[in-house]
Structure 1
């Protein structure tokens, strides 16, 4: 299918949906069979307006409800508040989507996506930025995936558990009575499966029914055992979507901090992930570099375990322990498929959430209708199938699956021979969930909306102060009940006591034994030792940083790449959306993006006048190099320092490390730009501005 045919197929209708949102889109069938019929066919796009995917099409479409980023602007790039505080950025930036929700998506996108490559073939479900099958493994990427798993799956399951606890507790008497009466009436009349099917269809198609049947309540306010009200674990109800109720400056921030602490609570491999190697490629080290001058923090756990064994009289070392190397090798070998599996589960969960509650600019009803259509056959069959027939069918299926391997394996071999790559067509993202984005794909589409309208979305603002220790205001959106019952069947006084701040609750544990195990006090001598090592480490790091300047002058390539990675305190980081401070081969300069020219491009210039008058419409900058946006085939976030040195710099100096980007074009040329304070923002502009179809690595 050509780009013109594809554009006509997707052109928007009067309701803001697309012409493709007809029967063929509602049915769970793949959008194309090209992965099977023409697996080697390559199609690339040079600009966003060529609309190679649904994401590009939605970004370039004319939307009915428009935010600031969806209006037309005359200038090359409109600044919608890149260097402004939260309260000075107008709302909404995107129609029908609050700024807090937008920034939540961008923050998590920055943590999740490190490395993208262009995909010349058809993408599953007509959406790019899927996770590559050969995705690179690293402990820190495993950490990011576990955090994401917590924020999506675990928090979602916890909310379901608490809803069940509320129903079973009979505290909300009227609601539980209705559920109970309807259930047993259906049981007596042998109507359980039709009832569950009808309920499921109603919940999918009619979103209002979800609030009626399962009225919302702050997650931290519900006791998962009793189903009643409880004091939030943080001691105050400062957020409604987190399990602790901790205060936050921005929506979703508390859940993100919970996810980070959830990962830090693991031992062994996850402890290594908490401090481990970063997927951002570290620069090659050399003797005397900061990375070479610091110890390996991840070795501390293993060294501590070995010291405990020695103290207990256990013989250690490779001559005595023959299991250490093979067990460690086996565990690390299995980490890559485990990480990929965690990411797949999170992707599927996010797709189902986005299908049930679509976020603009994705269509509002298509995905819900498709899911409901899948349940309708179950409803119709259940009207004519008895419980005996259902049980017999289920037990036959179990038996065939257990004993039918000869038939199943021969059938799969025949399919693989006749229809190579048929599994790709049958994936959920290509059938039931086709066109439904993950949160990363949704974020990329939103970023593309800004680029299509020459109004790049401003980055999430940062908070200058810690979140206040005061309860948030609760409205009917966060806490309500069905009918005339009070929410959670609690009085106003009980709600007020639970919501108000109590500083002692966050430190309460199950007993003195847990207090003793949890305590991390070092005593006076311990604190002095830590302060001593922190001071000496800080001095060693400063010396290593100073040495880099001398090495760079004599031509050290590695030292040049590390220059400026630790900016001086109180440095002005605010740049963008056109110009971004950075270095190339150690030289100070600016990366700037031009879109007014015939071919949009990214360039690097050492001309310092950019800081005063900018780069817009200037022809005297004489860039050191330029790469066309449409020619970029790979973008990779790289570290300013090695992973060990980055941890030590943060601990000893309390300073942020400015990282960089590595850009590769379609013919293999590579440009490495370092010391970019706004690295994530530049990365987001580059992945969103062109017509490339990306794959996450």
Structure 2
């Protein structure tokens, strides 16, 4: 297994033939390629110098290739003219800080959530008004997976943030931190006496925005799960142990951010379960025997309302009512109406989450993004503060009521104005988007992640994937500084904090433990479990039979059957489970075993070879070694500059994927589809590290991407 810092030689460093021989760029490349290996007079070619930015690039491209004051391993690797492995096989062990100014745990959290959010991107001819690409397309269609991803994002950003805000308010109102509460109360009532409540609140907001140090001083941080939302005091985390500091339940986590992600997933599954419960009618008014045999049978039978939770579990394994009558004329129209409203609802949730993420990234920017946006955002409140000193409250009330009445009674006039705007300025709604005006140049988390990925690619040092482990998280408290918690003003002693964060030990002696074990045994071996176990075994046999039939169909030339070959890993592959990349990704094309290679060198087209950097598929593998240059006869090869569309595709249909994941407890290997500018399509399947290949391809070129 290569250690971090292992490098892969790319093929050739010849510059594109279209370059003028007298340009400084051409001279720099010629000097670097003709100098001896021991010469240090010139700097080797880097990905940045080998791929000068075009005119239609975004702020993200410019930041990725620019100078960074704080450098990490990815930026330092840019001094080499070859692909550097920064720890793709290390699983986070011994990996240096990858991007300067950002801890690896935060980077991997961004990447893990990015992988769940991004499915499909297309290149557009020009950057959006906001200056950053990877905005959601207006034509983006609705799908349940996208809705789930947006709901999970909403929880992880907006809902968790609001819960944290509510707990800070509870701490202030509880008077358990008297000094801080007295200071806030004195400032408020002094402003009330002087009739300066609004200016004082605006000044308070300006300070919070422009002075980051004031936030922790005015609102001392504490583990989210440790604070009671009602009393403002210390509580036992709902998970029974403080295993994470940024989650609502305090559940243990293997890597930073996983507890919140699991909470988001369970929240969506819970909502789906409630919806199914409502449709199924859990509380039947005609229950014939509430205390007799029917109740006992109901306990043993599988609960159909747990279908949503079971589906979520099956999907996780795969990725790492009453019938209506024919005369019912309301069924189809209502279903159509519901599905028609799902698309704007999904977009609304996504836009609200994007705005929240932009505000958060403006207040606490991540390198290489500038901190000036925070000052610009605070400056907007300054004129409002000055106006509040002179404008009377009566004027504000009368003005608000006037414009409310005008908006209510002037609908024909407003519709006429909108019609004129649509004729004169068709894209006028774009100028009302905060991302294109007030928060222009401030990224969402997805745009931030893409910029960080581009930093790695610009220096030929692809960022390694987030670490993973099949072991459950440790059921023990996370390390917290008890002195810091008490110093922050939280009304609790060290012993109280220790009691709250540690795992509760079982009480009752051996009898209680024996009773608990017997209860668990009965639940495990109940009637419903036996039925589901038998059904699962039958389903597993059917899956094996179906895959065998697909192999036979593939041998006869069936294209659909060929795409399914190798999607289910063997037991040997599951046992080894090696991490592939950053150059080689084992895959299948047209049913044949091979690998997709990413060549980040710079070379002109030659014969069947496109200009590099490029991506290609070949069946010529050198065992566990990486191919150092493209073979003469790749199955297909595409220049990175020619990529027009990249899409994640499933190895199985979504229903088949859920069934296979539930029945086999194996991760289904998916694929990726590449579309070139001239319309050619290539689909590589059975890729274990599909997300990592997708990330490399969208981060390497100068395309301006739009998300679908």
Relative to the length of structure 1, the TM-score reads: 0.82
Alignment partner of 1:50: what SS? coil
Aligned counterparts of 1:153 and 1:417: Cα–Cα separation in 2: 36
Aligned counterparts of 2:526 and 2:555: Cα–Cα separation in 1: 45
- Structure 2 equivalent of residue 497 of structure 1: 499
- 1:554-609: CA deviations, max 9, x gaps? 11111100000001023144221011000000000010011223231111000122
- Structure 2 equivalent of residue 243 of structure 1: 248
- Structure 1 equivalent of residue 198 of structure 2: 193
Aligned counterparts of 2:422 and 2:335: Cα–Cα separation in 1: 35
Alignment partner of 1:488: what SS? coil
- Structure 2 equivalent of residue 28 of structure 1: none
Q: Aligned to 2:335, which of 309, 328, 331?
A: 328
Alignment partner of 1:487: what SS? coil
- Structure 1 equivalent of residue 385 of structure 2: 379
Instruction: State whether residues 116 and 636 of structure 1, in contact with CA within 8 Å, keep that contact through their aligned partners in structure 2.
Output: yes
Alignment partner of 1:593: what SS? strand
- Tell me by how many angstroms 1:267 deviates: 3.2
1:622/1:261 Cα in 2 relative to 1: closer, same or farther (>3 Å)? same
- Tell me by how many angstroms 1:261 deviates: 0.2
Instruction: State whether residues 582 and 674 of structure 1, in contact with CA within 8 Å, keep that contact through their aligned partners in structure 2.
Output: yes
- Structure 1 equivalent of residue 352 of structure 2: 345
Aligned counterparts of 1:538 and 1:331: Cα–Cα separation in 2: 35
Aligned counterparts of 1:454 and 1:486: Cα–Cα separation in 2: 44
- Tell me by how many angstroms 1:503 deviates: 6.5
1:128/1:372 Cα in 2 relative to 1: closer, same or farther (>3 Å)? same
1:620/1:668 Cα in 2 relative to 1: closer, same or farther (>3 Å)? closer
Following superposition of structure 1 onto structure 2, how do residues 241-320 of structure 1 map, counting pairs within 5 Å?
241-267=246-272, 316-319=323-326
Aligned counterparts of 1:270 and 1:62: Cα–Cα separation in 2: 52
Instruction: State whether residues 538 and 653 of structure 1, in contact with CA within 8 Å, keep that contact through their aligned partners in structure 2.
Output: yes
Aligned counterparts of 1:418 and 1:546: Cα–Cα separation in 2: 61
Instruction: State whether residues 651 and 671 of structure 2, in contact with CA within 8 Å, keep that contact through their aligned partners in structure 1.
Output: yes
Aligned counterparts of 1:343 and 1:559: Cα–Cα separation in 2: 36
User: How many residues are aligned here?
Assistant: 594
Aligned counterparts of 2:528 and 2:397: Cα–Cα separation in 1: 65
Q: Aligned to 1:532, which of 509, 527, 534?
A: 534
Aligned counterparts of 1:552 and 1:298: Cα–Cα separation in 2: 39
Instruction: State whether residues 232 and 244 of structure 1, in contact with CA within 8 Å, keep that contact through their aligned partners in structure 2.
Output: yes
Q: Aligned to 1:108, which of 109, 113, 116?
A: 113
Aligned counterparts of 1:231 and 1:456: Cα–Cα separation in 2: 42
- 1:515-545: CA deviations, max 9, x gaps? xxxxx95862222111111111111100111
- Tell me by how many angstroms 1:321 deviates: 4.3
Aligned counterparts of 1:682 and 1:539: Cα–Cα separation in 2: 32
Segments of structure 2 that go 5 or more residues without pairing to the other structure are: 1-49, 278-303, 309-320, 508-521, 604-610
Instruction: State whether residues 248 and 468 of structure 1, in contact with CA within 8 Å, keep that contact through their aligned partners in structure 2.
Output: yes
Alignment partner of 2:67: what SS? coil
Aligned counterparts of 1:368 and 1:619: Cα–Cα separation in 2: 47
- Tell me by how many angstroms 1:325 deviates: 2.5
- Structure 2 equivalent of residue 560 of structure 1: 562
Instruction: State whether residues 621 and 627 of structure 2, in contact with CA within 8 Å, keep that contact through their aligned partners in structure 1.
Output: no
Aligned counterparts of 1:82 and 1:636: Cα–Cα separation in 2: 23
- Tell me by how many angstroms 1:619 deviates: 4.8
- 1:646-697: CA deviations, max 9, x gaps? 1111111111100000100011100011000000000000000000000000
Q: Aligned to 1:607, which of 595, 601, 620?
A: 620
Larger radius of gyration: 2
- Structure 2 equivalent of residue 50 of structure 1: 54
Aligned counterparts of 2:147 and 2:484: Cα–Cα separation in 1: 35
Instruction: State whether residues 273 and 307 of structure 2, in contact with CA within 8 Å, keep that contact through their aligned partners in structure 1.
Output: no
- Structure 2 equivalent of residue 508 of structure 1: none
Following superposition of structure 1 onto structure 2, how do residues 566-581 of structure 1 map, counting pairs within 5 Å?
566-571=568-573, 572-581=577-586
Q: Aligned to 1:633, which of 644, 664, 672?
A: 644
- Structure 1 equivalent of residue 402 of structure 2: 396
- Structure 2 equivalent of residue 675 of structure 1: 686
1:181/1:89 Cα in 2 relative to 1: closer, same or farther (>3 Å)? same
Aligned counterparts of 1:270 and 1:693: Cα–Cα separation in 2: 39
- Structure 2 equivalent of residue 277 of structure 1: none
1:593 aligns with 2:598: yes
Q: Aligned to 2:633, which of 622, 634, 646?
A: 622
Aligned counterparts of 2:138 and 2:68: Cα–Cα separation in 1: 34
- Tell me by how many angstroms 1:432 deviates: 0.3
- 1:279-320: CA deviations, max 9, x gaps? xxxxxxxxxxxxxxxxxx99978xxxxxxxxxxxx9853236
1:315/1:570 Cα in 2 relative to 1: closer, same or farther (>3 Å)? closer
Alignment partner of 2:416: what SS? helix
Segments of structure 1 that go 5 or more residues without pairing to the other structure are: 1-45, 273-296, 302-313, 506-519
- Tell me by how many angstroms 1:93 deviates: 0.3
- Tell me by how many angstroms 1:330 deviates: 1.5
Alignment partner of 1:596: what SS? strand
Aligned counterparts of 1:411 and 1:138: Cα–Cα separation in 2: 34
Aligned counterparts of 2:678 and 2:485: Cα–Cα separation in 1: 59
- Structure 2 equivalent of residue 548 of structure 1: 550
Instruction: State whether residues 48 and 689 of structure 1, in contact with CA within 8 Å, keep that contact through their aligned partners in structure 2.
Output: no
1:686 aligns with 2:691: no
1:260/1:526 Cα in 2 relative to 1: closer, same or farther (>3 Å)? same
- 1:106-157: CA deviations, max 9, x gaps? 0000000000000113313100000001112111111111111110111011
Aligned counterparts of 1:345 and 1:504: Cα–Cα separation in 2: 44
- Tell me by how many angstroms 1:620 deviates: 3.7
Following superposition of structure 1 onto structure 2, how do residues 375-524 of structure 1 map, counting pairs within 5 Å?
375-475=381-481, 480=485, 487-502=489-504, 524=526
Aligned counterparts of 2:659 and 2:410: Cα–Cα separation in 1: 57
- Structure 2 equivalent of residue 656 of structure 1: 667
Instruction: State whether residues 171 and 233 of structure 2, in contact with CA within 8 Å, keep that contact through their aligned partners in structure 1.
Output: yes
Aligned counterparts of 2:184 and 2:421: Cα–Cα separation in 1: 46
Aligned counterparts of 1:298 and 1:142: Cα–Cα separation in 2: 21
Name which of structure 1's ranges 589-598 and 386-395 shifts more when overlaid on structure 2. 386-395
Aligned counterparts of 1:108 and 1:486: Cα–Cα separation in 2: 31
Instruction: State whether residues 641 and 701 of structure 2, in contact with CA within 8 Å, keep that contact through their aligned partners in structure 1.
Output: yes
Alignment partner of 1:590: what SS? strand
- Tell me by how many angstroms 1:85 deviates: 2.4
1:333/1:414 Cα in 2 relative to 1: closer, same or farther (>3 Å)? closer
1:479/1:412 Cα in 2 relative to 1: closer, same or farther (>3 Å)? farther
- Tell me by how many angstroms 1:362 deviates: 0.3
Alignment partner of 2:490: what SS? helix
